[in-house]
Copies of this chain bind each other. A is one copy, B any other.
Amino acid sequence: MALSQSDKIKQLVVTQQTGYSLAQAFYKDSDVYQAEIKKIFLKHWLYAGHVSQIPNIGDYFTFEFDTESVIVVRTDAGEVKAHMNVCRHRGSRICLEQSGSQKSLTCPYHAWSYNLDGELISARNMPDDFLRSESGLHKVNVALLGGFIFICLSEDPPSLAALRQDLKQTFDLFGMHSMQLAEQKSYLIPANWKLAVENYQECYHCAPSHQEFAQIHAMAKSPKVFQKAKEHFSQTNQGNPKFIELNRYFDLAEAGQEGYQYDRNPLLRNALSGSLGGNPVAPLLGSLQSYDGGASELMIGPLSYFLIYDDHMLSYRFLPVSVNECICDVSWFVNESAVKGEDYQLDQLTWLWDVTTQADKTIIMNNQKGVDSRFYQPGRLSDMESFQQSFLNWYLQIVIN
C-alpha cells in the first residue's frame, strides 16, 4: 500500500544524510511541494515590497506565488494592509494588474465592492439575510521592517520582536525607510524553488560561474583567503555599527522567532560598489558619508535576501510557481532623493546582478535536469556550502512537522 503523504515525507527526512545535497524526491515530489507551501510559504514572513511603491491612498500592488495572490494596499488611514485577492462572492481575482491605484477594491465580475480595509461595502441584489459584515476579504498580516513590507498568510505568524530589535540600527544606518525602487526584474526558472535558494546561499560556484561577481567580491575566494580579508576588514572598522554580525538564521533562530542574518563583507581591488569596475553607480544611501569598500548581506525570514552596497541595495526573493518552476524577483533600490538619468543610470545600476542572475538561471536549470536523472544521488557538500547546510537543517525540521 502506498505511504501516506506525511509518512512518505518523514521517511525522506530520516534517511537524508547531513552534509549531502537533498534526495531527488525533495525536488520532484508533489506531496513534498504541497507540504512546503503549507509549512513554509503559508507560515513565514515573505518580503512583498517597499512602502515607496504605494505612497498614496489607494495605491496597491499584488504579490503572487503558486496559486495565491495578495493585494498590498495603502488604506484611507494611510496604513499598509494586505488582503487575499479572492472575491468572497464567487472567487474571482479582484485586482488584475500588478499595480495601480483604486478608490475601492471592486471585483470586475459582479462588482462586489470592498473598501481599502477589505470590508465589503456594496453587493447588489443579495438575499435579505445576507450579511456584508461576514464577507470581507481574507486578511493577511503585514509588518513594516525598515520600510520594507512583509506579509504572512498565517493567522499566527512567527514573532518579529528579536529581529526588529537587532536590525533597527541597520535599517536606520542605510536609510531603508527612505529608499526608492529603481528597477525590478523577474527571472522565471524552470526548476524547483530550493535549487534557486540553495544557489543563492553558497558562493562555492561564484569563482567558476560568475567572473563579473568574482572580480568585485572577496566572498568568491577560497574560505582561507576570504576569512583573512574579512578579519582585516572588520578590524579596520571595529566599532562601526555597519560591521555588527547577526547570526540568527535558519536553525540558529530562537524558537518562535523569525530568522535573520546580517554581516558585512569586503570587496576586492578597491571596489566601492557592485558594478562594472567597482565604481559608484548612485548617490550614497541614507546618511552615509563615504564608501568603505564593503557590502552587507541581510536575510529577513527564510526566503528574502538583501545585498547592501553603500550606494544602492538589492532585494532577492524566491517564490514557487509549481513543483518544478520558480521565480526569482530582483529589485534595485537607491536613495529616495536620487534622480534617474541624472544621479544614476539604470543599465549601470543593474548590470552586475542582471548578468549574474541570468547566469544563475542557466546553472539552476541544468542542476534540475541532472537531479531529475535516476542516477542522481545526493553528493557531499563542500566547506563553502555551510550556509546552505543551515538552510537544509532548518528545512528538514520544518517539512517533517
Tell me the A residues contacting B by CB distance below 8 Å.
1-2, 19, 21, 42, 67-69, 84-94, 96, 108-111, 123-127, 130, 135, 138, 198, 204-205, 207-209, 222-223, 363, 366-367, 369-377, 379-384
Of all chain B residues, the one with the shortest Cβ separation from A96 is B366
Of all chain B residues, the one with the shortest Cβ separation from A89 is B379
Taking a contact as CB atoms under 8 Å apart, the answer to whether B222 and A125 are in contact is: yes
Taking a contact as CB atoms under 8 Å apart, the answer to whether B375 and A68 are in contact is: yes
| Interface residue from B130, B223, B376, B384 paired with A380 (Cβ < 8 Å) | B130
Interface centre among A86, A91, A363, A366 (most CB of B within 10 A): A91
Taking a contact as CB atoms under 8 Å apart, the answer to whether A84 and B375 are in contact is: yes
Taking a contact as CB atoms under 8 Å apart, the answer to whether B204 and A125 are in contact is: yes
Taking a contact as CB atoms under 8 Å apart, the answer to whether A205 and B375 are in contact is: no
Please, could you name 29 A-B residue pairs with CB atoms under 8 Å apart, sorted by A?
Answer: A2-B2, A68-B373, A68-B375, A69-B369, A84-B375, A86-B370, A86-B375, A89-B379, A90-B198, A90-B371, A91-B367, A91-B371, A91-B376, A91-B379, A92-B369, A93-B367, A93-B370, A94-B370, A109-B205, A109-B209, A110-B205, A110-B209, A110-B382, A111-B207, A124-B382, A124-B384, A126-B382, A127-B383, A135-B380
Taking a contact as CB atoms under 8 Å apart, the answer to whether A108 and B21 are in contact is: no
Given known A-B contacts A109-B367, A204-B125, A68 and B374 have beta carbons under 8 A apart: yes
The 7 closest A-B pairs by CB, nearest first: A111-B208, A91-B370, A67-B372, A91-B371, A89-B379, A93-B366, A84-B375
Taking a contact as CB atoms under 8 Å apart, the answer to whether A370 and B123 are in contact is: no
Taking CB atoms, residues of chain B closer than 8 Å to A223 are 125
Taking a contact as CB atoms under 8 Å apart, the answer to whether B208 and A110 are in contact is: yes
Taking a contact as CB atoms under 8 Å apart, the answer to whether B92 and A367 are in contact is: yes
Taking CB atoms, residues of chain B closer than 8 Å to A19 are 127
Q: How distant is A372 from chain B, measured CB to nearest CB, in Å? A: 4
Interface centre among A123, A198, A366 (most CB of B within 10 A): A366
Interface residues of A: mostly helix, strand, loop or mixed?
Answer: loop
Cα distance A41–B372 in the bound complex, in angstroms: 16
Taking a contact as CB atoms under 8 Å apart, the answer to whether A108 and B363 are in contact is: yes
Taking a contact as CB atoms under 8 Å apart, the answer to whether A380 and B208 are in contact is: no
Taking CB atoms, residues of chain B closer than 8 Å to A371 are 90-91
Taking a contact as CB atoms under 8 Å apart, the answer to whether A89 and B369 are in contact is: no
Taking a contact as CB atoms under 8 Å apart, the answer to whether B382 and A87 are in contact is: no
Taking CB atoms, residues of chain B closer than 8 Å to A377 are 88
Q: How distant is A357 from chain B, measured CB to nearest CB, in Å? A: 15
| Interface residue from B84, B90, B130 paired with A367 (Cβ < 8 Å) | B90
Cα distance A230–B308 in the bound complex, in angstroms: 68
Taking a contact as CB atoms under 8 Å apart, the answer to whether A109 and B363 are in contact is: yes
Taking a contact as CB atoms under 8 Å apart, the answer to whether A108 and B222 are in contact is: no
Cα distance A377–B69 in the bound complex, in angstroms: 15
Of all chain B residues, the one with the shortest Cβ separation from A372 is B67
Q: How distant is A201 from chain B, measured CB to nearest CB, in Å? A: 12
Taking a contact as CB atoms under 8 Å apart, the answer to whether B91 and A374 are in contact is: no
Contacts A68-B374, A92-B369 aside, 8 further interface pairs with beta carbons under 8 A come to A84-B373, A86-B373, A92-B367, A93-B366, A108-B209, A124-B384, A127-B382, A135-B379
Cα distance A88–B372 in the bound complex, in angstroms: 13
Taking CB atoms, residues of chain B closer than 8 Å to A84 are 373, 375
Taking CB atoms, residues of chain B closer than 8 Å to A222 are 124-125
Of all chain B residues, the one with the shortest Cβ separation from A68 is B373
Interface centre among A130, A204, A369 (most CB of B within 10 A): A369
Q: How distant is A84 from chain B, measured CB to nearest CB, in Å? A: 4
Taking CB atoms, residues of chain B closer than 8 Å to A89 are 21, 379-380, 382
Cα distance A380–B1 in the bound complex, in angstroms: 37
Q: How distant is A9 from chain B, measured CB to nearest CB, in Å? A: 16
Taking CB atoms, residues of chain B closer than 8 Å to A67 are 369, 372-374
Taking CB atoms, residues of chain B closer than 8 Å to A125 are 204, 222-223, 382-384
